[in-house]
Amino acid sequence: MEKEISEALNVLKQGGTILYPTDTVWGIGCDATNFEAVEKIYQLKRRKESKSMICIVSDFKMLNQYIEDVPEVAYDIIKYATKPTTVIYDRPLHVAENLIGIDNTLGIRVIREGFCNVLLKKFKKPIVSTSANISDQPTPKSFKEISEEILKGVDYVVNLHDKKKAGKPSSIIKLSNDGVVKVIR
């Protein structure tokens, strides 16, 4: 796994895109603070920029660096969630402008273990995490289902496909700073 972490880090630091196993499904990622790298993913997925993407962070400390005001309830939701949960927050900070929703929100998932957590801790910045498919196509449940276009379109494919089991996308909850909680998925 160390070799894969090192290779992925090099690509991320150079503004490249990676295909990597997340805690849910295979994802396409890049440096969430790099406008051009985020743009590459929109183009690869043929996704409208009005349809925002999420990113992942390693812990609450990193989360607090990229959201202006994390509602207290978010910590409990994340801490007690029984499956991977992405929370959409108001007023993100220090991320690429094209990653932020038109309503000034950003979905972030805290990843506490595994490949992504190690990668995030070494990279020290959030990483985009969007499903490894062309927009409006089904989300691949396994590495074998990822299209050739995606495989060839990223700068690096993390070689851990034999270790990642089929997964499901995360739950998504929107937490507004006015106290409104909405379950999206």
69-111: per-residue pLDDT in tens? 999 999 999 999 999 999 999 999 999 999 999 999 999 999 9
SS3 string of 92-156? ECCCCHHHCCCCCEEEEEECCCHHHHHHHHHHCCCEEEEECCCCCCCCCCCHHHCCHHHHHHCCE
Name all domains of the chain by residue range, CATH numbers in brackets.
2-183 (3.90.870.10)
Single out the residue of 46, 76, 48 nearest to residue 60, CA to CA.
Answer: 76
In the predicted model, what is the mean pLDDT of residues 151-159? 97
The per-residue pLDDT for 52 is 87
Give the mean pLDDT of the chain.
Answer: 93
Sign of the dihedral through C-alpha 15, 128, 45, 164: positive
105: β partners: 90
The per-residue pLDDT for 165 is 59
Q: Does the pLDDT of residue 37 top 90, yes or no? A: yes
In the predicted model, what is the mean pLDDT of residues 155-162? 88
In the chain, the percentage of residues whose pLDDT exceeds 70 is 97
The per-residue pLDDT for 183 is 83
Q: Does the pLDDT of residue 20 top 90, yes or no? A: yes
In the predicted model, what is the mean pLDDT of residues 1-28? 96
Q: Does the pLDDT of residue 164 top 70, yes or no? A: no
The per-residue pLDDT for 167 is 73
**N- to C-terminal Cα distance for the chain?**
31
**Which has the minimum average pLDDT: 23-32, 141-150, 167-176?**
167-176
Q: Does the pLDDT of residue 50 top 70, yes or no? A: yes
**pLDDT, greater one: 39 or 179:** 39
